């Protein structure tokens, strides 16, 4: 997908957006339990996010609620240290009561929990557990308060029995504002599973009552509202994901969207992790038709690397801001972002906050112009080849300063002619016959970010006959062995591990899922 012209887009947005922006443009973000600095609550004071989705919650068949790193478990008091996964959201909610804090239940890591709502008795226990959670008063602890800001008795004293205000003291209590059902599985969701979730959501809403002020949201796959016929590569109309290998999830929640339009308060569409050619405008239109109200449909952006057919990539800031502006101009309900906290591109937490604030600016029609720098071509290749061989030129290390998706162009500049295969892919290759004399082959790699070409990178390869070969003392005798899987380590799509004599590659983000026991890990042949 070519880069959008942000200046042109914002110009058109300003003509129609001013009235809608304040009313409809939600800015939401996942807030993960991991990856948070100790001062996360202080940083979140600068955030323009109005709804946080705590990641992630789960339940079992007995209705017992759990969460990643106990993010929604009232902490055991300690005067000196409390987990930022808890203090971040409780302090934020106390300081800004109008901000909503929801728990995102599910995600692919907890996908087995959807099976527990198939049984009516278990479903009722889960319902009761969720309602109890939303009515729970969570204590808020803060340091360095004034005595008049403290609630209740002093919890930590100095040596002279005076209250130690430098330590954590109770500042008040807060409640959660709702539940986000992060409804996704590796396998296709079935109509019966959709019906089970709808029954659960209706029951939760009924027990809470109309005046509770609590909200329910539904987060689903990007292709969930596509026509089911889009599973066939020959079908293009109203299809958002148009790669040759189609998704198993086209149209999987259409019935739930229609039946749940008055049950869920808004619908988050994961319009990412689908590659640079994904037609997010088509996906959003499909969801709007199913839900019947554009203002309840929320566009998904990610500031992490994401899956693509040619490999993982990072969406450019220019495109993310343009997407935020586009959804506002089209009358959709806002943007949600993955994520604050967890970040696999080494973005600091303050920079994450600032980035999402810029999306808010874009949605409000006040986005700054983002300068576009040229991409940088990088390649790995053998500098010397002896005898007959197949040579691979690998340009996957090429980068774009703004993180835009790249295209590749390989050309031969000089030397004996070869037939280059895959000249517009990350990796190109060619075959060499055994030569009678030494020769030099020269190639160029140019990458493009949708706007600019990189400077050409020149690759020079010496092709030698067999008798001129020499062993390379630095060449390893054996290929590298993947590291052993660790249960407490976070892995993302593409990471490799070894476990019980086999090598596995992760399909997506995971932690704690043992290779060989689930669909997260794929055996490397």
Q: Grade residue 221 by pLDDT with cuts at 50, 70 and 90.
A: very high
pLDDT tens digit string along 445-492? 999 998 899 999 999 999 999 874 444 445 444 455 688 888 878 887
Distance in angstroms (rounded) separating the CA atoms of residues 111 and 183? 8
With beta carbons less than 8 A apart as the criterion, state whether 459 and 378 touch.
no
Q: Which residue has the higher pLDDT, 5 or 456?
A: 456
Question: Is the per-residue pLDDT at 374 higher than 80?
Answer: yes
DSSP character for 110?
G
pLDDT tens digit string along 125-156? 999 999 999 999 999 999 999 999 999 999 99
Query: If residue 317 lies in a helix (H) or strand (E), which one and from where to where?
Result: helix 317-329
pLDDT tens digit string along 28-38? 999 999 999 99
Distance in angstroms (rounded) separating the CA atoms of residues 37 and 341? 8
Which pLDDT belongs to residue 403? 78
Query: If residue 523 lies in a helix (H) or strand (E), which one and from where to where?
Result: strand 521-523
Distance in angstroms (rounded) separating the CA atoms of residues 242 and 331? 25
Question: Is the per-residue pLDDT at 99 higher than 80?
Answer: yes
The mean pLDDT value of the chain amounts to 90
Which pLDDT belongs to residue 482? 83
Q: Grade residue 507 by pLDDT with cuts at 50, 70 and 90.
A: confident
Burial of 450 per CB tally in 10 Å (0-12, 13-18, 19+): buried
Which pLDDT belongs to residue 23? 47
Q: What is the largest CA-CA distance in the chain?
A: 92
DSSP character for 99?
S
> What is the rounded average pLDDT of the residues 302-312?
92
- Closest Cα partner for 244 from 256, 255, 235, 257? 235
Distance in angstroms (rounded) separating the CA atoms of residues 437 and 459? 20
Question: Is the per-residue pLDDT at 292 higher than 70?
Answer: yes
**Calculated CA dihedral for residues 136, 142, 148, 150, nearest 10 degrees:** 40
> What is the rounded average pLDDT of the residues 59-77?
96
Q: Tell me the range of 81-90, 308-317, 458-467 where mean pLDDT is highest.
A: 81-90
Least confident of 1-15, 154-168, 304-318, 421-435: 1-15
> What is the rounded average pLDDT of the residues 263-290?
97
> What is the rounded average pLDDT of the residues 159-178?
97
Question: Is the per-residue pLDDT at 6 higher than 90?
Answer: no
Tokens, residue 329:
């101009």
Question: Is the per-residue pLDDT at 331 higher than 80?
Answer: yes
Q: Grade residue 367 by pLDDT with cuts at 50, 70 and 90.
A: low
Which pLDDT belongs to residue 330? 96
Which pLDDT belongs to residue 369? 59
Burial of 53 per CB tally in 10 Å (0-12, 13-18, 19+): buried
Q: Grade residue 24 by pLDDT with cuts at 50, 70 and 90.
A: low
With beta carbons less than 8 A apart as the criterion, state whether 440 and 414 touch.
yes
Rounded percentage of the chain residues whose pLDDT exceeds 90: 78
> What is the rounded average pLDDT of the residues 263-278?
96
Which pLDDT belongs to residue 370? 61
> What is the rounded average pLDDT of the residues 375-386?
93
Which pLDDT belongs to residue 525? 73
Q: Which residue has the higher pLDDT, 89 or 455?
A: 89
Ordered by where they begin, the domains of the chain are 6-136+175-363 (3.20.20.80), 384-468 (2.60.40.10), 481-525 (2.10.10.20)
- Token pair 């229609």 is found at 258
Distance in angstroms (rounded) separating the CA atoms of residues 225 and 238? 10
Beta strands in 322-426 (DSSP E): 334-340, 384-386, 389-394, 407-414
Supply φ then ψ for residue 55, to 5 degrees: -120, 125
Question: Is the per-residue pLDDT at 95 higher than 50?
Answer: yes
Question: Is the per-residue pLDDT at 360 higher than 70?
Answer: yes
With beta carbons less than 8 A apart as the criterion, state whether 438 and 462 touch.
yes
Q: Grade residue 284 by pLDDT with cuts at 50, 70 and 90.
A: very high
DSSP character for 510?
B
- Closest Cα partner for 465 from 380, 381, 520, 385? 385
Question: Is the per-residue pLDDT at 523 higher than 80?
Answer: yes
Question: Is the per-residue pLDDT at 21 higher than 50?
Answer: no
Distance in angstroms (rounded) separating the CA atoms of residues 519 and 524? 13
Q: Where are the alpha helices (DSSP H) in 84-225?
A: 84-95, 120-134, 191-208
pTM of the model: 0.71
With beta carbons less than 8 A apart as the criterion, state whether 13 and 21 touch.
no
32 vs 104, 119, 216, 420, 486, CA distance in Å? 10, 30, 19, 45, 20
Buried/exposed 144-178: b ≥16 CB within 10 Å, e otherwise: ebeeeebeeebbeeeeeeebbbebbbbbbbbebbb
Which pLDDT belongs to residue 451? 86
Question: Is the per-residue pLDDT at 1 higher than 50?
Answer: no
Which pLDDT belongs to residue 522? 84
Q: Grade residue 401 by pLDDT with cuts at 50, 70 and 90.
A: confident
Which pLDDT belongs to residue 524? 85
Which pLDDT belongs to residue 227? 98
Which pLDDT belongs to residue 56? 96
């Amino acid at each position: 997908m070519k880069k959008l012209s942000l200046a042109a887009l914002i110009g058109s947005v300003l003509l129609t957006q001013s009235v809608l922006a304040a009313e409809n443009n939600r800015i939401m973000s996942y807030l993960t339990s991991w990856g948070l600095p100790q001062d996360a609550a202080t940083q979140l004071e600068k955030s323009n996010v109005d709804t946080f989705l705590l990641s992630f919650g789960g339940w079992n068949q007995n209705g017992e609620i759990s969460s990643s790193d106990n993010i929604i478990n009232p902490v055991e008091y300690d005067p000196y240290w409390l987990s930022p996964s808890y203090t971040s959201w409780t302090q934020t909610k106390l300081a800004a009561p109008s901000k909503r804090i929801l728990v995102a239940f599910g995600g692919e890591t907890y996908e087995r929990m959807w099976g527990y709502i198939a049984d009516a008795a278990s479903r009722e226990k889960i319902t009761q557990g969720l309602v109890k959670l939303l009515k729970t008063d969570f204590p808020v602890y803060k340091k360095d308060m004034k005595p008049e800001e403290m609630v209740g008795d002093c919890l930590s004293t100095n040596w002279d029995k005076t209250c130690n205000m430098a330590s954590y003291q109770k500042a008040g209590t807060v409640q959660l504002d709702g539940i986000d059902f992060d409804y996704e599985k590796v396998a296709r969701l079935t109509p019966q599973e959709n019906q089970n979730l709808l029954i659960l959501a209706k029951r939760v809403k009924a027990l809470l009552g109309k005046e509770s002020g609590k909200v329910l949201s539904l987060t689903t796959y990007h292709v969930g509202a596509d026509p089911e016929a889009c599973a066939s590569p020959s079908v293009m109309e109203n299809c958002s994901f148009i790669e040759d290998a189609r998704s198993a999830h086209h149209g999987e929640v259409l019935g739930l969207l229609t039946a749940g339009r008055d049950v869920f308060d808004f619908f988050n569409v994961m319009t990412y992790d689908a590659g640079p050619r994904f037609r997010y405008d088509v996906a959003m239109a499909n969801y709007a038709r199913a839900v019947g109200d554009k203002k309840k449909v929320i566009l998904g952006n990610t500031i992490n690397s994401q899956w693509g057919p040619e490999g993982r990539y990072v969406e450019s800031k220019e495109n993310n801001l343009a997407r935020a502006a586009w959804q506002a101009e089209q009358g959709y309900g806002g943007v949600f972002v993955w994520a604050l906290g967890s970040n696999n591109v080494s973005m600091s937490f303050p920079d994450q906050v600032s980035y999402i604030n810029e999306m808010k600016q874009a949605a409000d029609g006040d986005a700054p112009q983002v300068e576009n720098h040229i991409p940088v071509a990088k390649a790995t290749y053998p500098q010397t080849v002896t005898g007959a061989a197949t040579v691979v030129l690998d340009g996957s290390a090429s980068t774009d300063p703004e993180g835009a998706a790249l295209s590749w162009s390989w050309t031969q500049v000089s030397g004996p002619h070869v037939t280059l295969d895959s000249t517009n892919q990350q990796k190109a290759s060619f075959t060499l016959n055994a030569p009678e004399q030494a020769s030099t082959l020269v190639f160029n790699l140019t990458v493009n970010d949708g706007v600019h070409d990189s400077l050409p990178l020149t690759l020079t390869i010496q092709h030698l006959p067999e008798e001129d070969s020499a062993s390379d003392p630095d060449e390893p005798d054996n290929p590298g062995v993947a590291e052993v899987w660790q249960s407490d380590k976070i892995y993302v799509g593409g990471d490799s591990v070894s476990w019980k004599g086999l090598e596995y590659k992760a399909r997506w983000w995971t932690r704690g899922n043992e290779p060989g026991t689930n669909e997260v890990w794929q055996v490397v042949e």
